[in-house]
Amino acid sequence: LSCSARRALARAQLARVTWFPAGRSVMAYYELYRRSTLGMTLTDALDEMVTNGELTPSIAMKVLAQFDKNMNEALGSVKTKTTFKGNLDTYRFCDNVWTFLLDDVTFTVTGPGGYKDNAHVDKLKIVACDGKTGDNVGPSSKK
């Protein structure tokens, strides 16, 4: 797949869920972070390795699934607090996924040791999914 085709596919799969067995229960992880710079770079590298025959597609998918799990777990332990204020342009809720489009947004970041910083962006898109893990997560939870 070309880079633009992979990105289009990643956008289409935005709220997909990856399932991991965890003991007797099943844990679910959203694939949201595959659209991040790190996720897209990983996807490009894996695609190149599969194309060159250095990796099988099933191993590449396992690597991406592990990436989903690790990103969700790592971001769950962040101690930095971010607040933002802006003008809400559009919002929607579909398949347990909220999407917000904001204009003129100001961020305030505070962290350990008294760290504080501000940032401003003209436009912001927020995609938010249910952070709970388990059998009732994701767009296919309605049975």
Sequence-ordered list of residues with C-beta below 8 angstroms from that of 25, at least 6 positions apart, any chain:
134, 135
Take residue 132 and report the two structure tokens written for it.
Answer: 């709970």
Which segment, 15-19, 36-40, 117-121, is predicted with the most confidence on average?
Answer: 117-121
Reference 139, options 91, 94, 72; nearest CA is 94
| CA-based nearest residue to 18, from 58, 69, 56, 57 | 69
Provide, rounded to the nearest whole percent, the portion of the chain with pLDDT above 90: 38
Q: How far apart, in Å, do the first and last CA atoms of the chain sit?
A: 33
CA atoms within 13 A on the CB side of 4: 0
pTM, two decimals, is 0.54
Q: Which tens digits make up the pLDDT trace of 118-137?
A: 999 999 998 887 766 444 44
